[in-house]
Amino acid sequence: MFSSTFKYLIIIILIIIINYIGLIFSLDSIDGLSFSENITDGNSIVISSSGFVWPTPGYNTITSNYGYRNAPTSGAGTFHSGIDIGAPTGADIIAVFSGTVTYIGFSGPNGYTITISDGCYTCNYSHISPYFLVYVGQFINQGDLIATVGPKNVYGVPNNPYKDSAGNPTNGATTGPHLHFSLKMNGNSVNPLNYF
Ligand SMILES: [Zn+2]
């Protein structure tokens, strides 16, 4: 009697151990297959099916879509070449894909801008902070912090034609802090939202 109960006990314990080991391995393989989990400000980064990551962790509101529109401010084009993502000054901007920094500067209506290219895709991060975190020629890994959202007003830009209603110079043609993100594939402008 005792020995048969003991045998059952041993079998149950073995089943539990085997299941536990199986669980560990299955969790490991799921984790390895899913997505890399870089953490920025406590927000995990999810890579889309096309392989891009969202540039502003924690801020997902599109305030202006890609395409034709009524220009919100003088100097902003009627064809909107990118998407505007509402985010406050100082919000993190991370690299949507890996590539090399090809431009940093004040780019007319786009204001302070970083351009990153991987040879196929080229993207602009615009209306960013003038305190640049990267340099031209630097290789950037996907998910790296590359900039922060800039202020609406910037000072000291020579011949800056962009001003707000109070006459103060602005960070390109902009009515408030946001990220303007534009994307080209093999030189052709595309809607970034098709890639997230
Ligand atoms: Zn825009």
Listed by start position, the domains of the chain span: 1-34, 43-195
Residues whose CB falls within 8 Å of the CB of residue 100, separated by 6 or more in sequence, listed in order: 116, 117, 118, 137, 138, 139, 140
What pTM was estimated for this model as a whole? 0.75
Q: What is the pLDDT of residue 143?
A: 96
| 111: alpha, beta or left? (left if phi > 0; alpha if psi -120 to 50) | left
Cβ(184)–Cβ(97) under 8 Å?
A: no
pLDDT of residue 21: 47
- What six digits make up the tokens of 56? 């502003």
Residue 82 Cα to ligand 1 midpoint, Å, equals 6
- Is the pLDDT reported for residue 5 higher than 70? no
The encoded tokens of residue 115 equal 């351009």
- State the distance from the centre of ligand 1 to the C-alpha of 127, rounded, in angstroms: 9
Interval between CA 40 and ligand 1 midpoint (Å):
24
User: Picking from 3-17, 28-42, 173-187, which range would have the lowest pLDDT averaged per residue?
Assistant: 28-42
Provide the pairing of β-strand 99-106 with 139-140. Answer: antiparallel
Q: Average per-residue pLDDT in the chain?
A: 84
- Residue 62 Cα to ligand 1 midpoint, Å, equals 10
Distance 84 CA to ligand 1 centre (A): 5
| Superfamily of domain 43-195 in the CATH hierarchy | Glucose Permease (Domain IIA) (2.70.70.10)
Q: Is the pLDDT of residue 70 over 80?
A: no
Asked if 80 and 69 count as a contact pair (C-beta separation under 8 A), the reply is: yes
Amino acid making up residue 107: S
How far is residue 158 from each of residues 59, 85, 149, 162, measured CA to CA in Å? 32, 27, 21, 11
| pLDDT tens digits, one per residue of 152-164 | 999 999 999 999 9
Distance 1 CA to ligand 1 centre (A): 79
In terms of pLDDT, which residue wins out, 3 or 63?
A: 63
What pLDDT score does 115 carry? 98
Largest CA distance in the chain: 96
Residue (of 67, 38, 61, 35) closest to 146 by Cα position = 38
pLDDT computed for residue 31 by the predictor? 36
